[in-house]
Chain A
Amino acid sequence: MSTITGQAAGPSAARAVQKKPNIVSRIIKHRADYLYVLPALIVMLVVIAFPIYYTIELSFFRTPPNLQMKDKIWTGLSNYSLVLNSSVFHEVTIQTIIWTLASTVFSFLLGLGAALSLHREFVGRGVLRALLLIPYVISAVAASYVWKWLYHSDFGVIGAISVALGFTDEPINFLDNRQTVLASLIVVNIWKEFSFAMVMLMAGLQTVPDQLHRAAMVDGANTWDRFWHVTFPHLKGVSMVTILLLMVANFNSFIIPFVMTGGGPADASHIWITHIYQLAFGRQQWGAASAYAVILFVVMMTLGYFYVKALTRGDETRQGA
């Protein structure tokens, strides 16, 4: 605990008085509080901190299939170099960015549209709201299998309908074509998560004061003006959080591409997580997979930083005031 006893008086003493106690002092001062949370902290250290440490450690080693893990070979940064210089990594990174941005943007826009539509009173609004929530609550694995059969290149329902209606001569090849597979999976992902954006934005819409809308109408604002100048500014905070959460979820996506295509055909639907999984569990390249995971961890932490900043922006403003 810092002390000001015996310090010189004057401006420096005033600064010292204002200086925040350091973390050790705070822990000692609030030791009882910390003792209460100690068991939880220990559990977190074991289940979160240790795996992170072990993954980072493993990323500096090579793990040939003929050696036990305890005999792993130190290779320094070569796993990082191998991953970052691999052409497949570049391809998968581009696919991951496309997957994340497209899924996030379209899920958000679709969710926003749905939220705005459902914000108004109309007959059957509750039923429609429940229906639109179904994709979000359904199991991702089950949804992936359903969509896999809907898309099936030989016997899929969508392909059969498109042929029956005369749109195409033969069933559309959604999943077995390098050009169409990623877009097809993104559609499934948007379908799965737009409801989440919808729910978040519906909550945000509740905070828009109705008086402002009425005042804007009195001032002659049209629908677009009311949305852009009244509604949207109030949704900025929740939109930021929703977009960040969607981006984090999409960077971490696994189930849909893994179940529907396994990353194929010819790596065209691999994203970072599925590729890491393949390196680790398909190829037993634990070191390279760990390096890959650390890279993804850094990206996620960066996103997490902005997420926390967005969440606490109001707190900082209030503290500053």
Chain B
Amino acid sequence: MTNLQGRDMRSGAPIRRQVVAYAIAALTTTSLMSTTAYAQSVDLSQWSPDYIKSIAGTETFDTAGHCADVVPLDYTGRLTYWWTGPTEASPQIEHQINDEFWAAWAKTYPNIETDAQNIDYNQLLDRLRTTLLGNAGPMVVRLQILGGVEFASKGYFQELAPEDIGYPTADFWPGAMKSVTWDGVTYGVPTNNETMAMIWNADIFERAGLDPESPPATWDDVVTYSKTIHDKLGISGYGLVARQNAGNTPFRFMPQLWAYGGGALDEAEASPSYQDSYLDNDGAKAALQAAYDMYVRDKSVPTSALTNTQNENQSPFIAGQLAMMIAHPSEYAKMVDLAGQATGADKEVADTVVANMRYGLIPEGPARRAVVFGGSNMHFINEEYVEGGFDEMAAKAFACFWNSPEWSTKLAWTGSNPGNLAGFKTEWMKERLDTIKFLDVTTSMLPSGIPFPVIPEATEIMNIIVPDMLQNALTERMTVDEAAADAAAKVDALLGGGL
């Protein structure tokens, strides 16, 4: 890769020679891009914990050198950027990497004046909506995977594909690319992707007479295991979450719904059209019935599930009062942290729980094994909505740098995975696998990931209608069939432009 910074240009060199040289360089670059860079870096068909381990640390990448091909390193410009970065609750290493990133960015592109705002996860969307109304948005924004489509459909985003910043589309998860595509046009680059996994307490499994080293293989097994644990030990089996208007609920219920063959729409299909609701098909009803059986019939899940988010499951889990739950890769670090804070007899219990924590694949159902494909995407705002105008070169330089195999991996250190699949081949991915427990398991769920429907109505469907359906059935306000039909009717009305 060529670093233009500091290049000594000979004065008086014939212009014709320069033109020829640039033409050859351009052709060479294009040729390289088409033969090597555009080839997929990893083989998704082989994806497994062993494959992930086998490719980690096998290649090195020159981030600055690569980005110099996209935007010269001596480019002078201005950048404004909004994202959700490390918070007070984040592990120290996240803060450290964040600091390292900004230092590296400033060193690589010293002439790009950067104004970056780290905005709280729950405030970013609302703040962006408000500022875009006043044409005062940032140039570049990173949003949660479901957040971008609303703005793309409203015309706020520029067309943006990985190729625009020097990376092949083939090097990003197909599901992730689906999440940045609206109406056939690509409006962003996936920065990081993750899926959840099933976590269980092997000690509780053993005491309940279950195989301590095997998670429930199917969702029907989850119902059975949960009942067995509750009946034998008097504690909650599965950590059901069904709070209204909380993102935790669809992230935990949709895998079950998809596994039985249901869906909000047809998002689980290979080529979804997002036209009709699947919430009242047989698969969706079977999933809802399974939740009903655990909550109402067996009472084997927390009674507080209707007001709980996943945060409220952490305390009973670390106290040995909850046997299994769906959670992020970072849940292990959280439990270690909680155990570190415990004292006396609680400390003993917490340490036992941490020692007995196991990660496994999310159960499968009659139709498939599925998990929500999570992550974040980077977008460019259209110039007319950007305060102070849009600096295309600065934005591209930044997007190239952030989404490089190096920083795509480092910036997702504890909570996610690199959006750029080439990141899985870096030495930093190897270091993550060596130091973060269960990372290989959670990462191996990625091919089973299904993104939420990429339509502007998705937020309402997932955060309101799906939890409503669960609550209507679990409180017996409606029967399972009625709740499913009610939810499907609401989705149809919403897609038809109703209230």
A residues near B, CB below 8 A? 62, 64-69, 79, 82-83, 86, 148, 152-155, 171, 173, 175-178, 260-268, 278, 281-285, 288
B residues near A, CB below 8 A? 126, 133, 150, 153-156, 236, 243-246, 302-307, 315-316, 321, 456-457, 459-460, 463-464, 468, 471-472, 474-475, 477, 497-499
What are the residues of chain B within 8 A of A265 when measuring CB–CB? Answer: 244, 306-307, 471, 474-475
A selection of 11 A-B contacts at a CB cut-off of 8 Å is A68-B155, A68-B156, A82-B499, A178-B477, A262-B246, A264-B307, A266-B306, A268-B475, A281-B126, A282-B245, A285-B499
Contact residue among A65, A79, A262 (Cβ-Cβ distance under 8 Å from B153): A65
Q: Nearest chain A CB to B437's CB is how many angstroms away? A: 28
What are the residues of chain A within 8 A of B456 when measuring CB–CB? Answer: 64-66
Determine the distance from Cα of A278 to Cα of B236 in the docked complex, in whole angstroms.
Answer: 31
What are the residues of chain B within 8 A of A288 when measuring CB–CB? Answer: 499
What are the residues of chain A within 8 A of B246 when measuring CB–CB? Answer: 262
Determine the distance from Cα of A152 to Cα of B498 in the docked complex, in whole angstroms.
Answer: 37
Determine the distance from Cα of A176 to Cα of B456 in the docked complex, in whole angstroms.
Answer: 31
Q: Nearest chain B CB to A188's CB is how many angstroms away? A: 14
Determine the distance from Cα of A28 to Cα of B321 in the docked complex, in whole angstroms.
Answer: 75
Known: A171-B303, A175-B307, A261-B307. A266 touches B468 (CB 8 A): yes
8 closest A-B pairs (Cβ-Cβ)?
A65-B456, A153-B303, A66-B153, A265-B306, A266-B471, A153-B304, A176-B306, A66-B456
Q: A155-B315, A265-B306, A281-B126 are in contact. List 20 more A-B contacts (CB 8 A).
A: A64-B497, A65-B150, A65-B457, A79-B499, A86-B499, A152-B304, A153-B304, A153-B307, A154-B321, A155-B316, A175-B304, A175-B307, A177-B475, A178-B475, A264-B306, A266-B472, A266-B475, A267-B468, A282-B463, A284-B459
Known: A65-B456, A283-B464. A176 touches B477 (CB 8 A): no
Q: Nearest chain A CB to B158's CB is how many angstroms away? A: 15
What are the residues of chain A within 8 A of B468 when measuring CB–CB? Answer: 266-267
What are the residues of chain B within 8 A of A282 when measuring CB–CB? Answer: 245, 460, 463-464
Determine the distance from Cα of A261 to Cα of B303 in the docked complex, in whole angstroms.
Answer: 14
Determine the distance from Cα of A83 to Cα of B154 in the docked complex, in whole angstroms.
Answer: 25
Known: A67-B154, A266-B472. A154 touches B477 (CB 8 A): no
Q: Are A262 and B464 in contact (CB under 8 A)?
A: no
Q: Nearest chain B CB to A124's CB is how many angstroms away? A: 37
Q: Nearest chain B CB to A308's CB is how many angstroms away? A: 34
Q: Nearest chain B CB to A127's CB is how many angstroms away? A: 34
Contact residue among A69, A79, A263 (Cβ-Cβ distance under 8 Å from B244): A263
What are the residues of chain A within 8 A of B245 when measuring CB–CB? Answer: 262-263, 278, 282
Determine the distance from Cα of A262 to Cα of B498 in the docked complex, in whole angstroms.
Answer: 23
Q: Are B236 and A65 in contact (CB under 8 A)?
A: no
**Of all chain A residues, which has the CB nearest B156?**
A68
What are the residues of chain B within 8 A of A283 when measuring CB–CB? Answer: 460, 464
Known: A62-B497, A154-B304. A264 touches B477 (CB 8 A): no
What are the residues of chain B within 8 A of A86 when measuring CB–CB? Answer: 499
What are the residues of chain A within 8 A of B499 when measuring CB–CB? Answer: 79, 82-83, 86, 285, 288
Q: Which among A64, A83, A171, A264 has the highest number of chain B CB atoms within 10 Å?
A: A264
**Of all chain A residues, which has the CB nearest B478?**
A266
Q: Nearest chain A CB to B11's CB is how many angstroms away? A: 52
What are the residues of chain B within 8 A of A62 when measuring CB–CB? Answer: 497
Q: Are A262 and B126 in contact (CB under 8 A)?
A: no
Q: Nearest chain A CB to B136's CB is how many angstroms away? A: 14
**Of all chain B residues, which has the CB nearest A73?**
B497
